[in-house]
């Protein structure tokens, strides 16, 4: 995106004059890919205190630092942004889901296991890296939370009653996602995506019994899990989320 | 997807009793990944004659064949399905665009070069392989056409006047895609996605002057090119395309 590189920093209470630490990954990218040097400007955010213009200080393979100059964007108030609840799939598709869901404004990534889950060894840290890199690139000022994976049934036992669960069902009678999204526009929601092979009949029956669950379909073709996750989040944001308004500012500067 | 493996075959006029050739890639997958043997059932489609139940005959590393038994799905009439016009990006994202656009029902892939195009050496054949594999997996009975890449301006000089061009603009004033899609629902359309870095101001000015072009935005975040392509196609199909109806049949059996 345009402007100085954006960097997520794991630091609290950003303030003018403060020096924040950069990771080895960030400094390697800055020095060897973007050819940046000490003194060059960067933009820094921590998910809480808005976006700050900063100057690079040290840059080494083990890390570096930047000194905060001034705040260039305020932190927006928390929005009713969608969560994404998704069955574990293979590593490549999981990376895609984490990165693209972040670009699409998801604020919480909830991996679950289901009857037909193709269960890999999942690194939460790896998903978080994908989410951070996508947040740096897409201009948002937050990074989605990444939950530890649990069984779907267990995850739903303490589900927050006010947050609708939009179940993207691969088979069976259901309305299109747009119909469900229009009815729930502006309210807290999570999209649930099954594994390759879909949910089991027993899982779908159990989901239908939940007061907060709404089944929907994603069209006449069988989508791969990662395609379904990206498509569902995009449609939710377009119909019920933060795509609704006309745009008058460059996207990179739009508050969100 | 459920049922026998689906195979796209490059053969004309499918008929009962006909023997069709399979590629080495198909037979390798059938024999070594799916562990299929001669006599096992497969489903075959050629983009014109519906879907056929067939039996595997020979299976070798260089190819094989299947003998058609009976037609199990008729070929649907051509739908007003969206085209996707996209600036060339790197190989990984290009593969994603071709595969996911196929899953989402795109019928024509139109790679173009723009002012800020990051131009790799593009293999049309590679894009077609991605499209065929996605068509086999997602249940559709057609494979999108893949055009040779040309400059955007050149491509638009002979643009079919009846097909709207939905320009997904990364910056500048524009309504959301859903507003444009709702106004054009059911009519022929193509979605245009720019490169990383977006369109140049001159390109956007030229696009605004076209009678058949409609600018829109894809929300407040800066999406990567492949994310924008997948998100835009999903939203188009959801709002203006073939996701509109409620579903009563399993997706895999839905006519397409």
Q: Where are the domains of chain A?
A: 6-73, 83-245
pLDDT at A251: 42
ipTM of the complex: 0.91
What is each CA distance from A238 to A106, A245, B182, B213, B226, in whole angstroms? 13, 9, 12, 20, 17
- Tell if the CB–CB gap between A246 and B174 is shorter than 8 Å: yes
For A97, which residue in chain B has the nearest alpha carbon? B227
- Tell if the CB–CB gap between A222 and B178 is shorter than 8 Å: no
Q: Which member of B103, B222, B241 has the closest CB to residue A227?
A: B103
Say whether pLDDT at A81 is over 50.
Answer: yes
Quick: pLDDT tens for B54-91.
999 988 878 899 999 999 999 988 778 999 999 999 99
Confidence of residue B130 (pLDDT cuts 50, 70, 90): very high
Of A108-112, B78-82, B162-166, B238-242, which range is least confident? B78-82
Query: How are beta strands A51-60 and A41-45 bridged, if at all?
Result: antiparallel
pLDDT at A62: 87
Chain B positions in Cβ-Cβ contact with residue A246 (cut-off 8 Å): 173-176, 179, 217
pLDDT at A64: 93
Work out whether the CA dihedral A191, A192, A195, A199 comes out positive or negative: negative
Say whether pLDDT at A133 is over 90.
Answer: yes
- Tell if the CB–CB gap between A222 and B251 is shorter than 8 Å: yes
Residue of A95, A182, A251 to mutate, testing the B interface (most B Cβ within 10 Å of its Cβ): A251
Name the CATH superfamily housing domain B6-73: Hypothetical PUA domain-like; domain 1 (2.40.240.20)
Domain A83-245 top-level CATH class? alpha beta
Strand ranges (DSSP E) for A46-141?
51-60, 63-73, 83-87, 108-113
Say whether pLDDT at A159 is over 90.
Answer: yes
- Tell if the CB–CB gap between A244 and B178 is shorter than 8 Å: yes
SS3 letters across chain B: CCCCCEEECCCCCCCCCCEEEECHHHHHHHHHHCCCCCCCEEEEECCCCCEEEEEEEEEECCEEEEEEEEEEECCCCCCCCCEEEEECCCHHHHHHHHHHHHHCCCCEEEEEECCCCCCCCCCHHHHHHHHHHHHHHHCCCCCCEECCCEEHHHHHHCCCCCCEEEEECCCCCECEHHHHHHHCCCCCEEEEECCCCCCCHHHHHHHHCCCCEEEEECCCCCCCHHHHHHHHHHHHHHHCCCCCCCECCCHHHCCC
Query: How are beta strands B145-146 and B150-151 bridged, if at all?
Result: unpaired
């Amino acid at each position: 995106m345009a402007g100085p590189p954006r960097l997520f920093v794991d630091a609290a209470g950003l303030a003018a004059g403060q020096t924040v630490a950069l990771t080895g990954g960030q400094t390697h990218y800055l020095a060897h890919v973007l050819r940046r040097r000490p003194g060059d400007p960067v933009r820094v955010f921590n998910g809480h205190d808005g976006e700050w213009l900063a100057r690079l200080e040290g840059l080494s393979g083990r890390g570096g630092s930047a000194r905060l100059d001034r705040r260039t964007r305020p932190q927006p108030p928390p929005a009713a942004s969608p969560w994404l609840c998704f069955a574990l799939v293979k590593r490549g598709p999981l990376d895609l889901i984490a990165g693209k869901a972040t670009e699409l404004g998801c604020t919480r990534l909830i991996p679950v296991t289901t009857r037909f889950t193709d269960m890999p060894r999942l690194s939460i840290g790896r998903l978080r890296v994908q989410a951070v890199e996508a947040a740096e690139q897409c201009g948002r000022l937050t990074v989605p939370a990444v939950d530890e994976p649990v069984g779907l049934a267990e995850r739903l036992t303490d589900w927050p009653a006010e947050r609708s669960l939009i179940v993207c069902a691969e088979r069976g009678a259901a309305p299109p996602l747009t119909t469900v999204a229009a009815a729930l526009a502006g309210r807290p929601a999570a999209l649930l995506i099954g594994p390759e092979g879909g949910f089991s009949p027993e899982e779908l029956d159990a989901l239908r019994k939940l007061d907060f669950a709404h089944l929907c379909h994603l069209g006449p073709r069988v989508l791969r899990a990662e395609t379904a996750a990206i498509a569902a989040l995009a449609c939710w944001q377009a119909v019920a989320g933060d795509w609704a308004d006309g745009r008058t500012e460059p996207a990179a500067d739009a508050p969100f």
